[in-house]
Structure 1
Amino acid sequence: MTGRRPCALGAVALAAGWLLAACDGPSGSGQEITLYNGQHVQTTDALVSAFDKATGITVNVRSDDEDTLADQVVAEGAHSPADVIYTENSPALEYLQSRGLLAAVDPSTLAATPGRFNSPQGEWVGVSARVSVLIYNPSLIAVSQLPTSVLQLADPRYQGELAIAPGETDFQPIVTSVAHAYGTAAALTWLEGLKTNAGSHVYPDNETIADEVNRGEVAFGVVNQYYWYRLAAEIGADNVHSEIAYLAPRDPGYVLDVSGAGVLRSSAHPAAAQRFLAFLVSKQGQEIIARSISYEYPIASGVSTVQPETPFDALQPNSITIPELGDGSQAISLLQQAGLL
């Protein structure tokens, strides 16, 4: 663990100060922090706006793919203008942590999120979660014909019917989970089978998969659940021609992805940056996520989603842990060897 955490009395004082600011109005007028945002704008914009209103601290947002931002932080080193990085998935944060670029998160902030969703070293905090699913078009494939295990995605009977987005960072945890469960050799063979089955249906992102399946261009694909819910919200129920299904409980392809945030060790505004992390996992921040069109699951401060999706407690993902998902490097290597990157 890097850096020093405040003593218990200091943590209580910090928490009390934040709560007082939230109740009595902004106390950080004139302060600014820079956020490197690898999250979807649907998730980030409302959180940043509410934080600014509650604290008076302006958040300057730079958005890009989380891998791009993580590499940028590494390249910038101690001179990075970023104060906070906010990502869709844990591997990017684990990568920065392994390079010694993240600061310890305030204990009171970490305590708001169940420990299994945080950095084991305490250097980033879990904010929300999503889960991998199959999106399918019932006019092209019946639910009874869908694979129930991730390995079945490589079955030749699905040739030409499968859509994947291997360049998406959302896909990396699935690859890592397969390698963890079955070994790297089996994972590579599996990826080669996916490449064959997908054929021309290898897409740049999950939004494209959701759209193509919904339009009947391909039978089914692998996405995180929120892409389907967002699609339905955007195009209206009458235009939804697809559904989602889950793999068998605990299957290695049934992966829970945690989105999180960390403070850069090089931050010029560490106190304000820590306040932003505390806000993300506060009741107010989590309720914004619970009600937003991001369709992510809030995971902190006891808040549950109000959106009409499978309750978080009813999900049955694989038990792979944050440390076992690692920094994504194994998945990237396997995807490259399979010719999917």
Structure 2
Amino acid sequence: MNRALIRLAALGAVVALGGAACSSDSEDAAVGDPAATVAADCDNIGDPNVVTVYSGRSEKLVKPLLDQIDESVLGPGISVEVFYDQKPVKILEEGPRSPADVWFGQDAGELGALAKHGYLGQLPDSVTGLVPASYVDPDKRWTATTLRSRVLAYDPAQVPEAELPAGIDALVDNAAPGTIGYAPTNASWKSFVTALRVLRGEDGAREWLTKFKEAEPTEFANNGAVLDAVDQGQVKFGLINHYYWFQRTASVGAENVKANIHYFKGDTEPGALVNIAAAGILNCSNSAEAAGKLVQFLLSEESQQYFADQTGEYPVIEGVQSKHALPALTELDPPTIDLNQLESLEATEALLRETGLLE
């Protein structure tokens, strides 16, 4: 995992909105130092006694943990307010007047978008020192809180283990129509496609996506619905993140889950991408000190144990063991890719539209 898997990733689709948040003069200045431009325009409208969290993570996944944050974490007289299922575009639209203090996101690109446009400040050493350097933005604007791996869910009744595809190419070669499920609007799917473009170039990515389209993949609203379809035998395969399967087996018992998961491996295999959830403090936060304590809480042993056991993700601090039988991180073989290169979501969406996989 020393392959710089969680470097800065920018969400290109929101570049225009980020620019709209500032005046034309600020746009010119932002070319040199966007963080300084944002800082100069901060209105500090947030309540200094409230840490406001915009969470890109779902309420179902992380509310039980965030509900534990109180004065003992943040300091006397300070409370927390959380808005769930947010998109980074909200902060870009609000600009320097955003009341948000912390962004807690589910994808590297979300943090990258905010950092690129100057909306994230520098995290304190008390936070970044808790996490291996390879899991922290080089400029300390965000830190990973957990890791997750892309996997292939499959129905053993339709696909014997010996016949599992070795990679994404084998998955689409001669695939029967309608046998692969995916979530086309999910951030993890788009991150995978962006990694595909980075690893294979535009022509190579277009070739694979064309084959994928020809396989007439079945669309679902999210990864959970994809797993449901595989488990019920509606499709043979499903492209998801690993933790959905572990959450499901923990919830209903492994004996009651028909679907299984398969890890792709390989230095150049996009299907083996490892991504992050991460947090950062907003540049215009009016509660920066308490916000730093909140991010530090996400990296505490207590919180990391919650992620490991309740969400099934990989912790980013040492010594935390999951109740799930997760493969060790050292057993995963993700592609060698610097997520700094995943800045072009806009180009990814253009290619998906070109190949008929996005309206």
Output the TM-score relative to the length of structure 2: 0.80
Q: Specify the code of the residue in structure 2 equivalent to 1:222.
A: L
Q: Secondary structure at the match of 2:233?
A: coil
Deviation string, structure 1 residues 6-47 (Cα, Å, up to 9, x no partner) = xxxxxxxxxxxxxxxxxxxxxxxx932111111133442233
The 1:121/1:205 distance shift into structure 2, 3 A limit, reads same
Say whether 1:91 aligns with 2:114.
Answer: no
Distance 2:242 2:316 in 1: 16
Matched, 1:109 2:124: no
Deviates more, 1:71-80 or 1:143-152: 143-152
Which among 140, 163, 171 is matched to residue 181 of structure 2?
163
Q: What is the CA distance between 1:74 and its match in structure 2?
A: 0.3
Q: Partner amino acid for 1:223?
A: I
In the alignment, structure 1 residue 330 sits paired with structure 2 residue 351:
no
The residue that corresponds to 2:45 in the other structure is none
Q: Secondary structure at the match of 1:335?
A: helix
CA distance in 2, matches of 1:42, 1:147: 33
Match of 2:26 in 1: none
Specify the alignment match of 1:59 in structure 2. 80
Mark the runs of 5 or more structure 1 residues left unpaired by the alignment.
4-29
Question: In the alignment, does 2:74 pair up with 1:74?
Answer: no
Paired residues of 2:101 and 2:285 also in contact (CA < 8 A):
yes
Aligned mates of 2:70, 2:162 — CA distance in 1:
49
Contact 1:128–1:298 (Cα < 8 Å) also in 2: yes
Q: Following TM superposition, by how much is the alpha carbon of 1:300 offset from its aligned partner in structure 2, in angstroms?
A: 2.3
Aligned partner of 1:265 among 278, 283, 291: 283
Per-residue CA distance 1:222-279 (angstroms, 9 max, x = gap): 1110111112223333321111111133322201011101111121211111111111
1:243 maps to amino acid: N
- Cα distance, 1:301 vs structure 2: 4.9
- Give the Å deviation of 1:183: 0.5
> Offset at 1:170?
0.9
Counterparts in 2 of 1:266 and 1:301: CA distance versus 1, 3 Å: farther
Q: Which residue of structure 1 lines up, in the alignment, with residue 63 of structure 2?
A: 45
- The answer to whether structure 1 residue 210 and structure 2 residue 231 are counterparts is no
Identity %: 28
Query: What residue number does 1:18 align with?
Result: none
SS in 2 for 1:33: strand
Which portions of structure 1, spanning 4 or more consecutive aligned residues, are displaced by more than 6 angstroms? none
**Aligned letter for 2:54?**
Y
- Report the Cα distance in structure 1 between the residues aligned to 2:191 and 2:319, rounded to whole angstroms: 26
Cα shift readout 1:95-144 (whole Å, capped 9, x = no counterpart): 11111111111123112112222222211111001101110001111222
Question: How far apart, CA to CA, are the structure 1 residues paired with 2:355 and 2:292?
Answer: 41
Task: Name the residue aligned to 2:195.
Answer: 177
RMSD: 2.0
- For the Cα contact (< 8 Å) 1:164–1:198, is it kept in 2? no
Return the alpha-carbon distance in structure 1 between the equivalents of residues 132 and 346 of structure 2: 26
Alpha-carbon distance between aligned partners in 2 of 1:77 and 1:173, rounded to the nearest angstrom: 25
Q: By how many angstroms is 1:180 displaced?
A: 1.3
Asked if 1:141 corresponds to 2:159, the answer is yes
Q: Does 1:310 align with 2:338?
A: no
AA matched with 2:56: G
Counterpart code for 2:227: A
Does structure 1 conserve the Cα–Cα contact (< 8 Å) formed by 2:73 and 2:297? no
User: How many Å apart are 1:165 and its aligned residue?
Assistant: 1.1
Counterparts of 1:248 and 1:158, CA distance in 2: 23
CA distance in 1, matches of 2:135, 2:210: 31
User: Structure 1 residues 298 and 84 mapped into 2: Cα distance closer, same or farther (>3 Å)?
Assistant: same
Cα pair 2:59 2:85 within 8 Å, conserved: no
Partners of 2:194 and 2:344 within 8 A in 1: no
Aligned to 2:51: 33
Equivalent residue for 1:275?
A: 293
Aligned to 2:27: none
- 1:165-208 CA-partner distances (Å, limit 9, x unpaired): 12100112211221111111221221222122144x11121111
- The 2-side partners of 1:54 and 1:290 are apart by 23
Residue number among 190, 201, 205 corresponding to 2:208 in the alignment? 190
Which amino acid letter does the alignment assign opposite residue 83 of structure 2? R
Q: Matched residue pairs, number? A: 310
1:128 corresponds to which residue? 146
| AA partner of residue 79 (structure 2) | T
What is residue 26 of structure 1 aligned with on the other side? none
Matched letter for residue 257 of structure 1: N
CA distance in 2 between partners of 1:58 and 1:332 (Å): 39
Return closer, same or farther for 1:283/1:234 CA change in 2, 3 Å cut-off. Answer: closer
Using structure 1 for the length normalisation, give the TM-score: 0.84
The range that moved more, 125-134 or 150-159, is 150-159
Change (3 A) 1:163 1:214: same
Q: Tell me what 2:169 maps to.
A: 151
